Amino acid sequence: MKSKQTGPAHRSASPDSREVPALPVWKAFVVQFSRETGSRTGTFSGRVEHMSSGRRARFGSTQELLTALGKMLDELGDER
C-alpha cells in the first residue's frame, strides 16, 4: 500500500498545476562577497547575480545589496 505525501515536500503531479513553490527558482540569487569583505573591517562589498536572467549588480554596503535585490525582485514581479 502506497502512502500519500503531504506537507512542504509534496509536489503535484498535475502538469497544469498553478501552485507557486515556496522557494521559486526564478527568485534565486547568488551573492559573491569581495576579498575585502569582513565583519572586523566593516567592509561589505561584492556582487549579486540573478540566476535565471544573469543580471548582476555590484554593491559596496549592506544597503546597496538590499537596494539591488529589491530592484531585481521588483523587475521580476510576483510570479513568472
Domain for residue 53, yes or no? yes
Range of the domain at 50: 27-76
Q: Tell me: the pLDDT tens digits for 25-51?
A: 889 999 999 999 998 888 999 999 999
Domain for residue 40, yes or no? yes
Provide the domain count of the chain. Answer: 1
Domain for residue 8, yes or no? no
Domain for residue 37, yes or no? yes
CB 31 within 8 A of CB 51: no
Q: Which residue has the higher pLDDT, 32 or 78?
A: 32
